[in-house]
Amino acid sequence: MEFSSTLQQLSKVQKPAQGVSFYSRFVNRPAGRLLAAAAYRIGLSPNHVTAVSALITFAAVFTIALRPPSYVLGQWVSLALLLGFALDSADGQLARLHRSSSLSGEWLDHVVDCAKILGIHAAVLISFYRFFDLTQPALLLPVIFQFAAVLLFFGGILTEQLRRRSVKPPTGPPAPASSVRGLALLPVDYGLFCLIFLCLGSQKLFLALYVALLVAHVVLLPAFFAKWLRELS
């Protein structure tokens, strides 16, 4: 199958755009589609793509923890994290193209995603401790962010799994994606979080952006929980 034909086939097996932020919808999924097509052409399996995503992401995570922050370092870290994120989209698209989606593959994907969230905030904590001029209470910020991000991730995944059991799949065409919701979800989108590392060379700016996204996670967490509970009730 030619690359262009592979892209056309992938466009037919996309997930609905409902409940997805603008970044994931207009940047990450299209990038993942290109990577999935390339992976298909060279014979990689979805699990291979998941493994590559993990390796690239954790190379960036260890770099954050071990190297002094700078703009050049931040650019590399941001690019690596975004590439890992796009590959995370590519593995699922490749599985749907192969019609080889499996419980083990989904499990691996979610475990790797959870490890990424835990690892990246742990790396930020180490960087804050080693390289930033911060008071000790400020070191709690990555801990709080990690707590909120893991809760959002796990809550969303668990809700999706439980919905599959209890809710009949829709028979008609999916409802159009909400632009308002797509914009509102940007502050808790992992892709936007990856972009703030472009500012890693400026301690004050990076800290301000990190805290802003932390506040967004903490504020939106109760709203997500209420929505998920209502959907499952």
Number of H helices, E strands in the chain: 10, 0
CA distance 176 to 24: 16
- Domain spans of the chain, in order of start: 21-166+178-232
Answer yes or no: pTM beyond 0.95.
no
The pLDDT tens digits for 16-37 are 767 789 999 999 999 999 999 9
pLDDT at 177: 65
Query: What CATH number is given for 21-166+178-232 in this structure?
Result: 1.20.120.1760
Confidence check: pLDDT of 171 > 80: no
pLDDT at 76: 98
Q: Which of 196, 155, 16 is nearest to 96 (CA)?
A: 16
Give residue 180's pLDDT band: very low, low, confident or very high (50, 70, 90): confident
Average model confidence (pLDDT) across the chain: 92
CA distance 72 to 63: 12
Q: Indicate the DSSP class of residue 114.
A: H
Share of the chain above pLDDT 70, in %: 94
CA distance 112 to 100: 19
Cβ–Cβ under 8 Å, residues 219 and 148? no
Amino acid at 153: F
The pLDDT tens digits for 125-166 are 999 999 999 999 999 999 999 999 999 999 999 999 998 887
pLDDT at 118: 98
The pLDDT tens digits for 1-17 are 678 888 888 887 777 76
Helix%, strand%, coil% for the chain, nearest 5: 80, 0, 20
Cβ–Cβ under 8 Å, residues 183 and 151? no
Cβ–Cβ under 8 Å, residues 77 and 201? no
- Residue 169 CB burial class (10 angstroms; 0-12, 13-18, ≥19): exposed
The residue assigned the tokens 């190379």 is 59
